[in-house]
Structure 1
Amino acid sequence: MHCDGAIRNIEKEILRECAYKGIQVHENFLNYYLKLLSLDPTWGITGKDVLDRSDVQNFIKYVVHQLENQNTPSMITLKMQFYFTCNFQMKQKMVKRNRTELLMRLRGLEQEIIDVKYLTEEDEINLMYKKIVYYITLASGLGNPTFDAVFKEVRVALGSILDRNELNDFVAQPRFTKIDNLAEFTKLVTGIRLFNKDCGKGGEGMEDLPKLINEALIATNAELQNTLISIMDKVNLMTTALDFVCGTEMDERHNYVIAYRLPKGVTMADVNYVKDSLIAYRQHELYVRKMMDEIDRIESTSAQIFTILQRALIDLHRVVKHRIAIPVNQVFPHFIKLSDIWCNLQDQTILLAKHNQIMMNLQKYIKVLSFPDSIAEMMIPPGESPMTDTERLQKTADQKIPQEDNHSMVLDPLLYTDLNKLKYEYLGFCAWKIFMTEGALLPGNPGLGIAKTMNMQFVFSSVEAGIAFGKCPEKCVMETIKLARRKPELINLLAIKDRLILVQNIRDLVHEPPLLPLTDEVEVQTEMHPVESNIDRNYFWNVWDLRRKAIEYANLTHCQTVSCQTKKSYYRFNSKIQTCDPRDKGAQTKRDNYTNVPKPSTYIFGLRGRKDDKQFIVDLTRPVEE
């Protein structure tokens, strides 16, 4: 709740800043854009009770700068996502809204009908009958009541269920009863007119919905097919260009990295523009394929409704066949059923028209991008041509990702009967190159092997990419989330919004360990005899010689030379003797001793016999001196 309030306040500031600079931006789109950006905790606008004003200002400055140029591939992709989310996913509500809007337009005419409580004059009866005819025709959507043929047909159909003489009984009913009766009259008249048209006796102003729907489905499918072909031409060109530019090589630490091979005249800015444009076209391709699936569903549903309509008409013909008078309880339910089936057909036409509108608006967005083919053509080497996804898969058909030293489980594609039905992460794009190239969407090849880790399945465009991913799968997944934080257009394209929400308050997703210094073998050549020869006779190169000298000098400090001479001696001569003084040594043994202290003793006085609650403790311990 605090996060939503902060975003609303920031949104107001951005709108004021955009109005000051003359930038046109839709408020709902801005809210959608800010919620995607708020998934990046590095902005500092989430996960805090009190926001730093400096963080908020930096965030506002960044958003305003992005909105200044709304024709960039990133902004176009975000606009397409916002438009498609608001319209395609809410199509069922739009059908109900269309019905509601139609009734709201007829609310004034409905009020004029139900407000009348009695009819006295003939003109009032004719006017009331005419209003009911107009209301039924407009509410059913079957023709224009201002045309005489349509008006007469509806009046005749209404006369079979509501005679002019019964109008007084109708207007005398309660208000809510009249509203329900009007809705029932509309369904009955609609069913009667449909039955008459099937019999060839009416149907003035009524469109042939089955025929119109079939023609619209054929035209819409053809338009979607042409749009998809043009999109894939662009996608194949940009994918081939990025595949040649973004090469793979091994660095000095034996890790695979991306090596950009830029042709002459191509800069990294051109490569980044191609990557962003490829994201926009892939998003457009995804939406077109979704719309094609939805058109197929509408076609299938319409065919089922056509079948149900034919069966309902056959049943109704069986009921009224060769009969002059039929009880209303037998025939009216069939008319109401016909009306409900026809309403379902009308809903399908509304859905079909809405899909055509969505398709045209998506094409307007992609036309603003107007990607020049010359940039991608410069990246393709001479003699090479753009490859389709199928041709790109065939180049690596005979290669396999090894399981050795791979921390993810590499599944054999031969275990699966249909690889296209498996759900791959990132829409089947290479899970390693997508973050190593900062957003290049290169299709993965399931034939190389499917890496399964963390209950997810990944595919890769090359064996090297699969090996590099297998060294640390968790890190690669987190790197992709970091990329989506920087490129919010990838969040909904790759369907990873839930994962970003889980780590919304974690700033550092990947902790890189410090790189150990590499060792090299080097050679050094010194100058020959840089100093004149100097021989020191007292120099010992061996440390043990020095230790031996030290021991000798230490022993001499404890030696003493003495001599003695007798008082009378004959043949006196000098005599020398050397002695070593004896050493006195002593040892101290352990002595056992003991001590005795008095035993503590106390007496509590006043425990019994006293009326108050006071006691005294008397210390009876003998003193130590005794």
Structure 2
Amino acid sequence: MVKAVVLDPRNLFNVDRTLTKQDVRKLVELCVDKLMDQGSPSLDTIKMQVYFDMNYTSRREFIEEHQRVLQSRLVPVSREITDSRVKTREDLEGLYRKIVSYVLLRSGLGSSTDITTVREATAALQSVFPQSELGTFLSLIKKDKEQQLNDLSMIVTGIRLFNKDSRKGGEGIDDLPAILNEAIPSTSKDIEWELELSQSLAWQYTSWLERLLDPEVETRECIVPLDMVKQALYNVRQHEAFLKVILADVILCAKQVETLQTELATRMKLLRVTVHSKTAVPTAQVFPHFTALAKFWSGLQDEMVLLSILSNIMENLQPFLAAQSQLFPDGQLEDILGLEIKKYEQRMKESSENRIDPYEIKTQEWLLPETTANFDKLPLQYNGICGYTLVKKDGLLLPGNPSIGVLKHREKYYVFSSKEAALRFGSKPDEYIAHVAEKAKQSPELIQLLQLHQQFACVTPYPEVQCLRKVFRPPDFFLHFVTLQP
């Protein structure tokens, strides 16, 4: 928020010098005013961006964090086992029960307070690690004890999963594959519904702004200020962008679950063949199978956790649409526009009819789908938005059409909503790039929406702020951000 206020040229801050005491006072007042504007779609969008940045990360990091949390819960139990000094038979029995609890906690298969589950886990543990081997276990060094605990947990988990599949046990074990097979399509459907709604609103706002900004089109007077309509468009476009990120992760989750389920079924089949009609099987033959089952199941558990996190993030984005939703309640905007709402497919089809001819325009490098490898994977600037339209149409966001031709300028790639937009932007790219940055300064939510972070100054600590505390006490959020470097 501080950075957004300072960068806005309308606030007249000079980023090339250290802020004075008067600047700091003014900055605090402006930040507080902006934060208190509860009816602002712009503020909602910034809050949405902050929320997403603080709660979303890559699937790998989500899973790693989940594993760290799980390990932190295991540490006290593991330490109690590895540091145990038994003296009596009762102590040995107590230690064995702790190992059973550790196995259950690590596997996540049932509760350690459920008697039936504990009995089943104890029986599985006894089949590979009878209580008589505790003496050998206690003689190990701490590191080896921890390793054996982990190995035993994997083997016992595999045994219990195999017993469940054989209908000879599995107490407290949920049918995780079935749960995921139901949860993933349901979550995808919810996200797609939200996505469709935001996209529909975005095209309504876009169509209305096009009318308001076109001097040749007469429109009835709009009770909502033009700037507020633009803020609403930015709000739903940001929501759309975040939903697409979440949906992509859910799709990847579905693929991973399918792979894990296939591997789990294959390994289960191999294990059944290995133990079929045999009263005893060498541990070297079955233990790797049990460990593999546990590994695949753990992968499914990770995907379940990830799916839950993604679903929660999606739901928690909804409140950040509140201000925008109040501008045109009860479908009022749709009634105003009637049936004249151009959506993505129609716009792409119309603009594709007039494309760039690279041989006619040799002053810039243009890329076309039929002549460029991995064309659909090009990292498009402005998140695929047409920079020319943004500048010339007072902040209007229109998705570019790569089929028209992609401009490659200074190793970056730009798309446009029409051939005319492409030609004009291509004639003075640096000038238009600078104008886009200026637009983003006036509407700070565009910095993230258009992925412009690298074009702006970084925020650094302001050491002189300590002396200012003697004058007044600014809000805590402000104390870390004062000096801007270009």
Q: Report the TM range for the smaller structure's normalisation.
A: 0.7 to 0.9
SS at match of 2:225: helix
Among candidates 73, 76, 99, match of residue 67 of structure 2: 99
Among candidates 6, 14, 20, match of residue 52 of structure 1: 20
1:429 lines up with 2:385 in the alignment: yes
Q: Distance in 2 between matches of 1:166 and 1:414?
A: 69
Among candidates 155, 168, 182, match of residue 149 of structure 2: 182
Could you tell me which residue of structure 2 aligns to residue 80 of structure 1? 48
Q: Which aligned pairs between 1:461-472 and structure 2 lie closer than 5 A?
A: 461-462=417-418, 464-472=420-428
Could you tell me which residue of structure 1 aligns to residue 181 of structure 2? 214
Could you tell me which residue of structure 1 aligns to residue 172 of structure 2? 205
Q: Distance in 2 between matches of 1:45 and 1:119?
A: 74
Structure 1 stretches lacking a partner, 5+ long: 1-32, 248-258, 507-626
Question: Structure 1's 62 and 487: CA in aligned 2 closer, same or farther, altered over 3 A?
Answer: same
Q: Distance in 1 between matches of 2:396 and 2:158?
A: 57
Could you tell me which residue of structure 1 aligns to residue 126 of structure 2? 159
- Deviation track 1:139-175 (CA, whole Å, cap 9, x = no partner) reads 2100112222211110100111221222233334333
- Deviation track 1:322-365 (CA, whole Å, cap 9, x = no partner) reads 43333333322222222122111111111111111111111232
Q: Which aligned pairs between 1:38-437 and structure 2 lie closer than 5 A?
A: 44=13, 46-48=15-17, 50-121=18-89, 123-247=90-214, 259=215, 263-266=219-222, 270-367=225-322, 369-373=324-328, 384-399=339-354, 408=364, 421-437=377-393
Contact map agreement 1:241 1:376 (CA 8 A) in 2: no
What is the one-letter code of the residue matched to 1:63?
C
Question: Structure 1's 202 and 76: CA in aligned 2 closer, same or farther, altered over 3 A?
Answer: same
Contact map agreement 2:2 2:27 (CA 8 A) in 1: no
Q: Which aligned pairs between 1:600-619 and structure 2 lie closer than 5 A?
A: none
Offset at 1:299? 0.8
Contact map agreement 1:237 1:377 (CA 8 A) in 2: no
Could you tell me which residue of structure 2 aligns to residue 571 of structure 1? none
Contact map agreement 2:385 2:398 (CA 8 A) in 1: yes
Contact map agreement 1:245 1:260 (CA 8 A) in 2: no
Question: Structure 1's 97 and 470: CA in aligned 2 closer, same or farther, altered over 3 A?
Answer: closer
Offset at 1:104? 2.8
Offset at 1:178? 2.5
The percentage of counterpart residues that share the same residue type is 30
Question: Structure 1's 111 and 396: CA in aligned 2 closer, same or farther, altered over 3 A?
Answer: closer
- Deviation track 1:539-572 (CA, whole Å, cap 9, x = no partner) reads xxxxxxxxxxxxxxxxxxxxxxxxxxxxxxxxxx
Q: Distance in 1 between matches of 2:80 and 2:67?
A: 20
More helix, by proportion = 2
Structure 2 stretches lacking a partner, 5+ long: 459-483
SS at match of 1:89: coil
Offset at 1:204? 0.9
Could you tell me which residue of structure 1 aligns to residue 469 of structure 2? none
Offset at 1:293? 1.2
Which structure has the higher relative contact order (CA within 8 Å, separation 6+)? 2
Contact map agreement 2:381 2:412 (CA 8 A) in 1: yes
Offset at 1:279? 0.7
- Deviation track 1:46-92 (CA, whole Å, cap 9, x = no partner) reads 554x4333333332222122111244211211122222222222543
Q: Distance in 1 between matches of 2:227 and 2:62?
A: 39
SS at match of 1:160: helix
Q: Distance in 2 between matches of 1:379 and 1:464?
A: 29
Offset at 1:297? 0.7
What is the one-letter code of the residue matched to 2:446?
L
- Deviation track 1:429-471 (CA, whole Å, cap 9, x = no partner) reads 2221212333211233445554444344433334554454344
What is the TM-score of this pair, normalised by structure 2? 0.84
Offset at 1:426? 1.8
Contact map agreement 1:393 1:445 (CA 8 A) in 2: yes
Question: Structure 1's 113 and 414: CA in aligned 2 closer, same or farther, altered over 3 A?
Answer: closer
RMSD over aligned Cα atoms: 3.3
Q: Distance in 1 between matches of 2:92 and 2:354?
A: 85
Aligned length: 460
